[in-house]
Amino acid sequence: MGALKTKAVKQADGTYLITGQKIFITSGDNDVYENIIHPVLARIEGDPPGTKGISIFIVPKYRINSDGLPGELNDVVCTGVEHKMGIHASATCSLAFGDNGKCVGYLLGKCFR
């Protein structure tokens, strides 16, 4: 896990731009929910290598407008659905974050230094 390549870059407003890919994500995308929230492990730019440099972010599929409703897509894309069912018959998929440089994440927990 310490070798993960998902990256987070801090923005002036306190959010982070997330880039990277994740595979075998249980129920990672569907049309049942109005918005899906992804917990994403990533390394903040400049943090140490290994597991001590990993932080966790909340990344919604849709950004939330000021009125609390889902707004524009958050640059999170389902790149494929696995050809098997996951745990408890849940479909698993692959996700790409920030391929267009516009995936906004919110820091949930900072790494241990």
Bridge-based pairing of strands 104-109 and 16-26 is antiparallel
**Amino acid 9: pLDDT:** 97
Q: Residue 1 falls within a domain, yes or no?
A: no
Q: Residue 2 falls within a domain, yes or no?
A: no
Q: Residue 67 falls within a domain, yes or no?
A: yes
Q: Is the pLDDT of residue 23 over 90?
A: no
Q: Residue 19 falls within a domain, yes or no?
A: yes
Q: Residue 17 falls within a domain, yes or no?
A: yes
Structural domain for 57, as ranges: 7-109
Q: Residue 56 falls within a domain, yes or no?
A: yes
| Structural domains in the chain (count) | 1
Contact 84, 59 (CB under 8 A): no
Q: Is the pLDDT of residue 10 over 70?
A: yes
CATH number of 45's domain: 2.40.110.20
Q: Residue 79 falls within a domain, yes or no?
A: yes
Rounded-to-integer distance, Cα 26 and Cα 85, Å: 9
Q: Residue 54 falls within a domain, yes or no?
A: yes
- Output the CA–CA distances (angstroms, integers) from residue 20 to 17, 59, 74, 95, 96, in the order listed: 10, 12, 14, 9, 6
How many other β-carbons are positioned within 10 Å of the β-carbon of residue 22?
Answer: 19
pLDDT digits (tens, 9 = 90+) for 88-100: 777 788 999 999 9
pLDDT digits (tens, 9 = 90+) for 37-54: 999 999 999 888 888 889
pLDDT digits (tens, 9 = 90+) for 61-104: 999 999 988 899 999 999 988 877 666 777 788 999 999 999 99
For the question of whether the overall pTM of this predicted structure is more than 0.85, the answer is yes
